[in-house]
Structure 1
Amino acid sequence: MNLKQYLIEEWRQLARVNRSDRPWEMPVAAALCMGAPIFAGAAMDDIGLGLAASLGGLVFLHLPATGLAHRMSWLMACAFGMTASHALGMLGHLVPALVVPMIVIITILVMMVCRFYAAPPPGGLFFVMAAAIGAYSPVHGRDALAQIGAVAAGGVLAVAIGFLYSLHIVSRRGHPEPLRRPTPSLDTVVMESVVIGGFVGLSLLAAHALQLTRPYWVPVSCLAIIQGASVRAAWSKHLHRTLGTAAGLLVFLGITQIPLGPWGTAAMVMALALVVETLVVRHYGLATVFITPMALLLAEGSQGNALAAPWTLMEARLIDTVVGAIIGVAGAACLHNTRFRHWAGSRLRRLWPG
């Protein structure tokens, strides 16, 4: 394939828009899960706790298209996992040297669960994001405990909204057909999870080595890429994420020029969440344009000094995304390489009991 054909193929991949059968109520419910906690925080004059609770609201995005009983049990498990991930990340404040090993262990455990149950996207992404944000959060002591409680409260709200949404959708569309899940294997569940955790840890070490100011975005970007079903999918996601982030930073710059205040921040996050969940199944790159400002508002919105200097924040986010995406593509190449899989799998089998 010559350069011209390669560029044409890449453009086709970038421009492809997928069809979606997602009901319109789903983005609305997701936006409510993320926006309502921030409105509550604004009403209590504590936007920081509202934003933390909104992080717990991301649990709603793990709602599976299954029967009602399974939907709710899975969503409640995800709410617990999100809270636990954030709390374990917060423990990094006590021993900073343990942050990287802790993020690696959390990633491995989360990915093992997701691989065993064949969890659909977003997979383990938000759990690792919650842990990473917690590990580098500026709050300590009682404020840290309050933030963990806020994440748990946001998860509970997401479960409640998920229950009402599921009742509505099941009554309208009926019970979905049972999904055929692949039989879990040692390679899929353990080996792939260990490799993914290793590369996520490597990306965080790279962030520290480069002395990046907000290293938590690097492992998140790495995991978003390495979760791809193939090297081709990982590379496409890398392009979508990098270009979408660059465009999204311009959107974020425009948002910072608006005097939002707590109530305006809540409304903006809700609007962005609605757009993201409408677009993400159709075109990941376009969705990333709006994911970027939404994620920055969630992680940085409680720190007025950070939003007052948007160029510094934008530069940090772009560098973090590029570094994480490069390591993520390298990890995906290893993960889908037959020789590497055989080498890694054979060594894990020696350690695995039975």
Structure 2
Amino acid sequence: MTLVRELVWVGPHAGAHRPALRCGISVGLPMVALLAAGRVDLLGAAAFGAFTAIYARGLTVPARTAQQAVVGAGLTASVVVGLLAAHLPAWQGLIMLVGVAVAATVAGQVVDWKPGGPLFFVFAAGAFAGAPAFGFAAALQVVAVTAGTAAFAVLVGSAGAVRPTHVRAAAPLVAVPLRAAVRREIVLEVLLACAVTAPLAVLLGVEHVYWALIAAVVPLSVAAGRVARGLHRVAGTLLGLVVAVPLLAAHPPGWAIVLVAVVLQVGAELFVLRNYGLALVFITPLALVVGSTMHPAPIGDLLADRLLATVAGVAVALLVVSGGWCLRTTHRARTR
């Protein structure tokens, strides 16, 4: 019954409209600028930079500014890794993506960013690693747009400093507070899950292997409720695919893609901390619609690949969680 409650429970609103609005502005205005410049091909880069706005929603300025600056730099670095991986053989590219997952897991624990885990960093790296390789000039443009959008998101997140209630806004920016302890067991779980998921996804014929890696790290990114998080990932993805069908089938023009991206990003942020499964109803079509600007694919193949990758990744993650629980239980029994 506890698991059932975790699956269906929707948390309180708790002012979710404020971070949702920041996310909408952070992704919307850069996309409008790119659309005006006729660069629909760079909308994906803007979306990854705008993920910076998702972080540090519970912090106030200047702590939010400092943490988002670190996240923005990390997302930009992940895009660079993905661009480089696209020029390598597939297996080397997968190793680089696993490296991003492990590095972001460690960094997330040290910086204590929220939401935790390496999800968006693997997403940013994987999307470009799985796309056709960019030339040097085009890659520089992608990196510049990602970094610029991330910087804009940091500015939007810092805008609250102009309000009189932010008495700490006048204080100089300080370094992000670091945590000394890194939970090695979580890092090892992420490494194991990715190391198993990558070849399994290839064996199953998954085209977007990084989708499977994302699904594998999602349940491991929370300390409690991991089974519920995995089931939310599968159920939310399935419902999100239903939403994505008409959006993809409409082959929306650039302005419509921007509008859809803003609406879905705001919707995801409204629910992500209240019920992860509901948030996936927005996140899934967002990823597919924006991703279609980078490398289009037949709708049926795309939907099937997303579902297969998600199920495979979550299944591996839950096996890792179960294995870890069994080992801890056995160890406690032996030490009694």
Could you tell me the TM-score, scaled by structure 1's length? 0.83
Q: CA deviation at 1:223?
A: 0.9
Q: Tell me the residue number matched to 2:334.
A: none
Aligned residues: 323
CA contact (8 A) 1:57 1:158 kept: yes
Identity of aligned residues (%): 24
Question: Residues of 2 paired with 1:316 and 1:131: CA distance?
Answer: 18
CA deviations over 1:291-323 (Å, ceiling 9, x no partner): 1101112222344x42xx322111111111101
Q: Tell me the residue number matched to 2:232.
A: 240
CA contact (8 A) 2:112 2:179 kept: no
CA deviations over 1:131-187 (Å, ceiling 9, x no partner): 1112112242132332222211221111111111x325x6447669xxxx996435x
The answer to whether structure 1 residue 185 and structure 2 residue 177 are counterparts is: no
Aligned 1:63-102 pairs, distance under 5 A: 63-96=56-89, 97-102=91-96
Q: Which has the higher mean CA deviation after the structures are superposed, 253-262 or 320-329? A: 253-262
Letter in 1 for 2:82: G
Q: Tell me the residue number matched to 1:147.
A: 142
Aligned 1:123-202 pairs, distance under 5 A: 123-141=117-135, 142-164=137-159, 166-167=160-161, 171-172=164-165, 184-185=180-181, 188=183, 190-202=184-196
Aligned 1:174-323 pairs, distance under 5 A: 184-185=180-181, 188=183, 190-230=184-224, 233-303=225-295, 305-306=296-297, 309-323=298-312
CA contact (8 A) 1:68 1:167 kept: yes
Q: Which has the higher mean CA deviation after the structures are superposed, 329-338 or 233-242? A: 329-338
Name stretches of at least 5 consecutive residues in structure 1 with no aligned partner: 1-7, 343-354
RMSD value, Cα: 2.6
Question: Residues of 2 paired with 1:221 and 1:261: CA distance?
Answer: 29
Q: Tell me the residue number matched to 1:333.
A: 322
CA deviations over 1:164-216 (Å, ceiling 9, x no partner): 1x325x6447669xxxx996435x1x342133123123212211222211112
What SS class does the counterpart of residue 94 from structure 1 fall into? coil
Question: Residues of 2 paired with 1:149 and 1:21: CA distance?
Answer: 35
CA contact (8 A) 2:87 2:133 kept: no
Q: CA deviation at 1:340?
A: 9.0
Q: Tell me the residue number matched to 1:352.
A: none
What SS class does the counterpart of residue 68 from structure 1 fall into? coil
CA contact (8 A) 2:67 2:113 kept: no
Aligned 1:16-35 pairs, distance under 5 A: 16-35=9-28
Question: Residues of 2 paired with 1:35 and 1:67: CA distance?
Answer: 23
Q: CA deviation at 1:64?
A: 4.8
Letter in 1 for 2:231: L
What SS class does the counterpart of residue 28 from structure 1 fall into? helix
Letter in 2 for 1:185: A
Q: CA deviation at 1:23?
A: 4.5
Q: CA deviation at 1:50?
A: 2.1
Q: 2:38 aligns with which of 25, 28, 45?
A: 45
Could you tell me the TM-score, scaled by structure 2's length? 0.87
Change (3 A) 1:341 1:19: farther
Name stretches of at least 5 consecutive residues in structure 2 with no aligned partner: 170-176, 332-336
Q: CA deviation at 1:122?
A: 4.2
CA contact (8 A) 2:55 2:68 kept: yes
CA contact (8 A) 2:78 2:124 kept: yes
Letter in 1 for 2:311: V
Q: Tell me the residue number matched to 1:62.
A: 55
CA contact (8 A) 1:201 1:219 kept: no
Q: CA deviation at 1:44?
A: 1.4
Change (3 A) 1:330 1:174: farther
Change (3 A) 1:67 1:336: farther
What SS class does the counterpart of residue 218 from structure 2 fall into? helix
Q: Which has the higher mean CA deviation after the structures are superposed, 65-74 or 309-318? A: 65-74
